[in-house]
Structure 1
Amino acid sequence: MTCMTEHDYKSNTWAMNAGGPQAFITSFRAEDVEKLTARWKHGLGRSKYKPAEYDRVQAIVDAKRLESALIAKKVKRTQCVAKEIKECDILRQHRQVWSRECPRLQKAEVKAESDLHDFIENVRPFGIEDTAIFSLKDYEVFLERDRKAFIMGTVEPVYQLKEDLCFRLDQEQEQQLSPAPSNWEQVQHQVNLVKDQQDIITAKLQEEYCNLEEEITGLGLEKFIPTLDNLANKDDIPTEILESDCPYPELKESLIQTFHSLSEIHHSRLHCLQEHLKRTDRYCGWCPDDHLRFHFTLSQYTQEIPNHRALCNHMLQRVFPEKTKHDLMEHERAWARQRFTQTQIKVLTQQWQQDQEELLTKALATLQEARDAYQEELELQRDRQHQQDICFRLREKLQQWRSHQEEVAQLQASIAARQQEEAEAILKREQEKEAALRAHQKEKLRKFHLEQQKRREELEQRDQERLVKLRSAMEEQARQDRDRVRFRAEVLQRRKEEREASELERFREELEKQNRLEALRNQVAVVAEADTERMMGGTQAWRNRYLTIKEVAIQKPLFGLNTYTDAQIVADPRLRIEQALREAGLHHTPYAQEVLSHIKPPKPPRRDTKSALQF
């Protein structure tokens, strides 16, 4: 078999591309063309080969092309579905991030409101003239009312429109087969109207935001915000060092020089960082709104979120569709550099403050040590100088102390005598007061006993009267009870006589009934002649049965027994239980009687065997 030439390969490739992935493939070579031409010239082609059916081939090619177009559409549709699934997955992840971010923002909002409320509640006015506190509370009420009105005018219409659209969508899905006319144009007009209102509100808020910034700038409140320039102004010498009282001037000059050198070192470092920070503006070349949105978007996607980098880039491209990915990355790098520089400045400032505080602490300790040393020297000199003065003063004080002691002894003796006299006078007055108090208590006790005696007599008299009333009431009740008992006895006797009379009347009626029945029986009685033989002889039926039995000559018992069999007797549970109780020795006990009384026979007794007599 010969190898395929370049021309054959190109022909096959063109045929495959023309028909699509499953196109009609024809393979031929250059030698075959010459052979076909020769056969056609010599007449062999007319007899051996059939004419080409171009319409059929064209139809096959069209069918293959249509199939290829359908496959391409399916592939395109699959790509669209995959793109939608990917977009839905990304949106789901964004929703998860927002669902995590939303509670954090709500918590921060609640915390800020609570802090503001606590601050306003804890603020107290300094006096009656301090009306700023009351104006703050009034302003808080005004802001709360304005906020509620703003929510009712902006947020509530959007939620109402959302609920209305969801309700209409559910209705439309339920009524898809109904030919009712749709009012989507009116709904679209309402949605557009709400969008226009929201755009107007957003523009108004933006204008108020700009006006507020201008007002803050105009009032000069920016100086209260801690900026880099304010942080850098730290090169002053502490007043504790400058105003300190140091006994050694050389030490104080040395400490001041040390503070100057520390300030120069940190000033040079801080100046370099500030120069590096001034190369870019505060918003890294973007407008403030775009930068704030960029910063807020980055703050949502933290490191602990899976695939946070891809989600953040996707959200940034959605938020800033006019920005390219390169612009976003460059802005992020610039902002990272700016934050890093600010962090360095902050760390340097903190380090400066810490070093200055440490140096101040050491300087104050050194100054205190110098003052202590100087005071020790002065104390030594003062001690030597005042030793003799102290001895002299001590001798004078000793003489003074002795004279004072003698005077104190005299004064104490006179004071003790006066205290003794006062104590005796007080004791006498207390004894007189106690005697008067006892007399008064005796009089009160005598009155109390008299009152008790009078109260007992009153109680006894009242009890006697109550006893008389109770006895009279009991006698009246006893009389009523005797009358009631006599009345009941008469009623019972009357009922008994009535019952005996009714029984006698019933017996008389029964006797009359029996007499009438006997008279009727006598009227219908049978009158026959007496025949002793016929009465005592056997009947014909008996004679026939007797003769038959005699002919068979079967031996039978003398008397027939109409009783229970042994199997029926043993089958009775009462017999078996009574036998078990007898074997156990319990058949005479109350327990056996109680058990046997509750056992029922296998068959209920006939109703005609039951006795109607009551014992």
Structure 2
Amino acid sequence: MELDALECPYPDLKSSIFNEFCNFTEKYQKKLQDFDLQLEDINRNFQLSEEEHWIYQAVLDQYPGDLCGRRTLYLDMLQRYFPHKSRHALVEHEKCCDQYHFAREQRRVLISNWNKNRRDFIQKAVLTLAEACAAHEMESTLAKDRRKQQDLCADLKAKVLQWRAHQEEVARLEMEISARRREKEEEKEKLWKKKKLLQREEKKEKIREYWAKKEQNWQEMEMRDLRRLEELKKIMAEQSVKDRER
């Protein structure tokens, strides 16, 4: 559905809705372009050719995710397949693959959010313009003064802008929660490796204390974001019900 083709007795309101739609579309397109550039950059840093990467992936698939010592086992096997590659190069390729998969998943989430938010925005715009048409007809019938029409128009603009602000905050919170969970896993893996190298028990205890504080901080931030996310979705759902009832 083309927003420009919808009828509205208030040009300013229609222009505001159309401009807001263009703005948020441009924001998503810019984020999508950033992810594409990031994926291209990661791809250039791959240590293996396309054919070698296929072998690399086939080797990894042979080892279940819950296998004890999985990473050491598949790295040893990869060095047999690629004797011309150093272990460091294989580890770097592994790191690039993880970054690539994470960026691809973030890109998929972005596109999914974009499609959902686009549908929601258009639905909200249609309801708002329909409400504006009904209000204009009523105002014309009752011969209300111009001031009341302007106040009504401003109120409808504010509703659309508030809806978009909620949409953007929901998308931002979802991305932050996903990124924080990824950071937590990377930090856990890094500390596990460091802990494995340390022999003295007191140093291990310091790492455990550091991890406990870090994990508590992550949990507090995630609980805060999840509460806000639930609150926003509840507000938006209630507003949608009110819009349909009107």
TM-score between the two structures when normalised by the length of structure 1: 0.22
Alignment of 1:284 onto 2:49 = no
Structure with higher helix content: 2
Query: Counterpart of 2:40 in structure 1: which amino acid?
Result: K
Q: Which one of 10, 32, 37 corresponds to residue 270 of structure 1?
A: 32
- For residues 527-560 of structure 1, the C-alpha deviation after alignment (integer angstroms, 9 at most, x for no partner) is xxxxxxxxxxxxxxxxxxxxxxxxxxxxxxxxxx
Map 1:171-250 → 2, pairs under 5 A:
239-250=1-12
Map 1:143-542 → 2, pairs under 5 A:
239-281=1-43, 284-377=46-139
RMSD: 2.5
CA distance in 2: counterparts of 1:367 and 1:262, whole angstroms: 19
> Secondary structure in 2 aligned to 1:293?
helix
CA distance in 2: counterparts of 1:284 and 1:246, whole angstroms: 53
Equivalent pairs, count: 143
> Secondary structure in 1 aligned to 2:67?
coil
CA distance in 2: counterparts of 1:263 and 1:240, whole angstroms: 14
Whose radius of gyration is greater, 1 or 2?
A: 1
CA distance in 1: counterparts of 2:90 and 2:132, whole angstroms: 62
Distance apart, 1:296 and its partner CA? 2.2
> Secondary structure in 2 aligned to 1:351?
helix
Distance apart, 1:252 and its partner CA? 0.9
Query: Counterpart of 1:337 in structure 2: which amino acid?
Result: Q
Q: Do the aligned partners of 1:246 and 1:370 also contact (CA within 8 Å) in 2?
A: yes
CA distance in 1: counterparts of 2:42 and 2:76, whole angstroms: 26
Distance apart, 1:380 and its partner CA? 6.7
- For residues 451-491 of structure 1, the C-alpha deviation after alignment (integer angstroms, 9 at most, x for no partner) is xxxxxxxxxxxxxxxxxxxxxxxxxxxxxxxxxxxxxxxxx
CA distance in 2: counterparts of 1:324 and 1:289, whole angstroms: 18
Q: Do the aligned partners of 1:297 and 1:315 also contact (CA within 8 Å) in 2?
A: yes
- For residues 475-520 of structure 1, the C-alpha deviation after alignment (integer angstroms, 9 at most, x for no partner) is xxxxxxxxxxxxxxxxxxxxxxxxxxxxxxxxxxxxxxxxxxxxxx
CA distance in 1: counterparts of 2:54 and 2:64, whole angstroms: 17
Cα separation, partners in 2 of 1:330 and 1:254, compared to 1, 3 Å: same
Q: Do the aligned partners of 1:273 and 1:341 also contact (CA within 8 Å) in 2?
A: yes
Cα separation, partners in 2 of 1:327 and 1:261, compared to 1, 3 Å: same
CA distance in 2: counterparts of 1:285 and 1:314, whole angstroms: 17
Distance apart, 1:370 and its partner CA? 1.5
**Unaligned stretches of 5+ residues in structure 2:** 144-246
Instruction: State the partner residue of 1:220.
Output: none
Distance apart, 1:283 and its partner CA? 8.5
Query: Counterpart of 1:323 in structure 2: which amino acid?
Result: K
- For residues 322-362 of structure 1, the C-alpha deviation after alignment (integer angstroms, 9 at most, x for no partner) is 32211110111111122222222222222222222222221
Distance apart, 1:300 and its partner CA? 3.0
CA distance in 2: counterparts of 1:302 and 1:359, whole angstroms: 43
CA distance in 1: counterparts of 2:40 and 2:56, whole angstroms: 21
Q: Do the aligned partners of 1:283 and 1:291 also contact (CA within 8 Å) in 2?
A: no
